Chain A
Amino acid sequence: MLQLEGIEKTYLSGDVATPVLKGISFEVNPGEYVAIMGASGTGKSTLMNILGCLDKPTAGHYRLDDVDMVNLDDDELSHVRNHKIGFVFQQFHLLQRTSALKNVLLPLIYSDDYPEEAEDLAENALTMVGLADRIDYRPSQLSGGQQQRVAIARALITNPSMILADEPTGNLDSRSGSEVMAIFQRLHRDGRTVIVITHDRDLAEHANRLIVLDDGRIAEDELVDEPRDAEAELAAMTQSEEAA
């Protein structure tokens, strides 16, 4: 469903050119759960911005569902983001003073047709991430893990082609982090395409495929033999907490 071909990204600040991505090529098939891993500063977020159509590569081609994103203008890219991509950010990026429900509904504001049953969809999405009883809560009334789960519900509301998550557990404690990873595994089992970006190998190994970036190039691209099971980790955590 997506193909990258010789993607390069070079930042220009004044006369200084900083090459960050130096020729990245890979494909992702529908339903894959991919982790993109690499040390800090290797260009993971830069790559995710391109995958998410938030930014354009300096060179190369990026095809999403057989359309070359390089040729689209800003409005068309906005449209693609709206109905094909669900973002999950490290900082959650929820609207303050706005209920969980309204936050989840936000992407639909910008869709061409606002479904009549939008609020039901949003409630279902919140239920799916375990927040059925927090629908009217505002971000300030929710824990970090709960806020990130609202963000995941928001990413799901438009039924996108893929979920793109950049360091989704970076601001969370390990238990909340595992809860988030468990949700991603569930989404993967339901057949969704999930791409998670992280610098943490333990986290990356929850995915079925691991792409390692190093110095702007792909250093490794392999399947994970036995992905870690977030549900099992959560159960283990609960057990050791009870023992203590």
Chain B
Amino acid sequence: MRVLRIAGEGMNSLAANKLRTFFMMAGTIVGIAALTVIMAIGKGTEKKVMKRVEVFGPRAMMLIAGGGRALPPPDTSVTTLTLDDAQAIREEVTGLEMATPQAWQFGVSLKHEASQIQAVVWGVEPQWHEAWDWHAAEGEGISDEDVATMSRVCVIGSAVKRDLFGGTDPIGKSLYINKVSLTVKGVLEHRGTTGGDGGEFDNRVILPITTAMRRVMNVDHVGAIRIITQDVSLMEQQARQIEDLIRRRHHITPDVEDDFRIITAAIIADMVRGTSRTLSLLLMALAGLSLLVGGVVLMNILLISVAERTREIGLRRAVGATRGDIFAQFLTESLSVTFLGMLLGSAVGAAISLAIGRLTPMPAIVSWEPFALAIAFALLVGTFFGVQPARRAARLHPVEALR
């Protein structure tokens, strides 16, 4: 077909000038590679976000004692958050499924016979199991009666079973926390790690909240209140409502910061995205700059080439090329360059993404979507920067061009 023959003329010229072709292509390669890496990191990050939000609870909020915005480790010296705060939330904020307080202590020594390990201790209400969707895999969980009678029982994480009890059946056995003896009544489902920097989930012991506060920790404040909304779309508004309520209850004047913080699933997602976002912005700048500079270089080399090949263009016109044919030839040259650059850039980008996924903590997932976007960009850049040289070539008058 005629149009294919003319496209072929455009590509011949690229093949005949390999070094020039490479310079025309360099910007596209770098730009598309950066774009591919951005998308791979983006996709990896979103997967991580989803996993973390899933673990945190998509409908959950954590009201944590102590100010600031960051995630735990929380400031355990803050003693202002109380059981009454939890009660007030339940009474005054509508649209909540539950609000359950938990007392906590970190790095606590657990003893069983000769073994001793460090673990996290949480004092919880029975609803805690629902609130975290985390139940006893063996034995039983914390019950209302346990809380009411301040019973000396506990439910342990699978890591505690493994490390403190050597993997043997721990139900009915006892362990010591701060010299208080507790009977193991259950083992929690295995949760593994948080999928990020939150450490291991299973290295914990949960007790009835009353037992924890009065017998083990000897405190009358709690560490956090876990709140589950009925409707995710209300969460932002409920979070603000809760903030107002707790500020009022804690008598915090407007010029003073909160002595608590509210972590929502959205905040978790933001924090996971945080690190990747900086890199993505940097790469975005690199991609944009490369494509732009690369495009300008491409355009200028093509313009020079049009000037150098004026006679060739004149001859082609003389033997029958129309203006459109000349335009098509030079646009083909431009598009072939960006298309080829796009293929190389995608390959380089995919390789870098794989390396990032393997060698760094940053998640990166190689997929076909960046490739589709890369094709679009290649066509865009090739067209945008190729049109002017092509038009200049097409406008040459055959007689002038042949002179």
A110 to B2, CA, bound (A): 7
A174 to B328, CA, bound (A): 41
Which of B2, B323, B398 is the one whose CB lies under 8 Å from A54? B398
A61: interface (CB < 8 Å)? no
Tell me if A107 and B319 are in contact (CB < 8 A): yes
Contacts A95-B312, A110-B2; A79 near B320 (Cβ below 8 A): yes
Residues of A within 8 A of B398 (CB): 54-55
Tell me if B318 and A52 are in contact (CB < 8 A): yes
A-B contact count (CB 8 A): 69
Tell me if A49 and B399 are in contact (CB < 8 A): yes
A87 to B311, CA, bound (A): 14
1/0 per residue, CB under 8 A from B, across A84-109: the answer is 00010101010101100000001101
Tell me if A78 and B317 are in contact (CB < 8 A): yes
Closest A residue, CB atoms, query B16: A97
Within 8 A of A (CB), among B66-107: none
Residues of B within 8 A of A87 (CB): 318-319
Tell me if A154 and B319 are in contact (CB < 8 A): yes
CB distance from A96 to the nearest CB of B (A): 8
Within 8 A of A (CB), among B318-350: 318-325
Contacts A95-B312, A97-B16; A75 near B322 (Cβ below 8 A): yes
B6: interface (CB < 8 Å)? yes
**Of A55, A79, A93, A110, which is in contact with the most chain B CB atoms at under 10 Å from its CB?**
A110
Contacts A54-B398, A74-B323; A109 near B16 (Cβ below 8 A): no
Which of A54, A97, A110, A158 is the one whose CB lies under 8 Å from B321? A110
Count residues of A near B (Cβ-Cβ below 8 Å). Answer: 27
B50: interface (CB < 8 Å)? no
B245: interface (CB < 8 Å)? no
Tell me if A114 and B399 are in contact (CB < 8 A): no
Within 8 A of A (CB), among B241-281: none
Tell me if B312 and A74 are in contact (CB < 8 A): no
A89 to B398, CA, bound (A): 13
Which of A55, A93, A95, A110 is the one whose CB lies under 8 Å from B320? A110
Tell me if A106 and B316 are in contact (CB < 8 A): yes
Tell me if B6 and A81 are in contact (CB < 8 A): no
Residues of B within 8 A of A93 (CB): 311, 314-315, 318, 402
Contacts A55-B399, A114-B5; A106 near B324 (Cβ below 8 A): no
B46: interface (CB < 8 Å)? no
Tell me if A89 and B402 are in contact (CB < 8 A): yes
A49 to B314, CA, bound (A): 12
Tell me if A81 and B324 are in contact (CB < 8 A): no
**A interface residues, Cβ below 8 angstroms from B:** 49, 52, 54-55, 74-75, 78-79, 81-83, 87, 89, 91, 93, 95, 97-98, 106-107, 109-112, 114, 154, 158
18 pairs of residues in contact across A and B, judged by CB atoms under 8 Å: A49-B399, A54-B398, A54-B399, A55-B399, A74-B322, A75-B322, A78-B321, A81-B317, A82-B320, A87-B318, A89-B402, A97-B16, A106-B319, A107-B319, A109-B2, A109-B8, A109-B9, A111-B320
Apart from A81-B320, A82-B319, A114-B2, 12 more pairs, CB < 8 Å:
A74-B322, A75-B322, A78-B317, A78-B322, A91-B311, A93-B314, A93-B318, A107-B320, A109-B2, A110-B6, A110-B319, A154-B319
